[in-house]
Structure 1
């Protein structure tokens, strides 16, 4: 069993492509070679799994990507490949999972909450300094991940 088993199960339910009026977001598992650079950047020794998040905005020609991993020796923390702020080192987020459907991740004054209303609808909220910056309802449009990754979630 993974040290971050509940987080793993939460992301199993979230894998695929999500859309909102603002953006399209794709979530997929990182494969083992993709975990290595993040592990090395944070000096981690026991990476368990990682997530790749890629997004494109619907009304402007911008896109982004962020990856993060969970490490067995760091409970309630995830480590990113870059910062949420430009020109700063990669971030470390603390996380809490409530009732297997609400994930709250924080770093500094930034907080992101993901609430799974179902396996195909979720709410994401981003706050800074306690103030709401963005609230998005997202709908899953596809589960476009390899079958071997789906089996890992079963």
Structure 2
């Protein structure tokens, strides 16, 4: 049976090269945030704008939802732990300024400081993994299986 006589499938041809599709651009902006520090804001704005366009395909919609949730969940986790971490630092500094009765930082201070840094590292890893997963699937033009998932 030659190629001309084979039945045609309804799916788009698979191109395994990484092309510059809109979800790919957003994922790259998210990953660039680790170096630039502000590109994530450009990425989330683009995700909202492109998700609302009529020409957006269904598989792109899943990526935009996934990436928007990645931004908001990551931001919420970062803010909660940053506020707690900085509150601990400034609270401990205020204790040192209280007078000569303080003999140094409490032992739990260092445990909480290390725990706060560990949470930031885990949050960054979670953010990077979600961005890379979207990047890979978008490169293959495949939808995100569960765009509202909290993990991956």
- What TM-score results when the alignment is normalised by the length of structure 2? 0.24
- Report which of the two has the higher share of strand: 1
- Report which of the two has the higher share of helix: 2
Which structure exhibits the higher relative contact order, with contacts defined as CA atoms closer than 8 Å and separated by 6 or more residues? 2
Q: Between Structure 1 and Structure 2, whose CA radius of gyration is higher?
A: 2
- What TM-score results when the alignment is normalised by the length of structure 1? 0.24
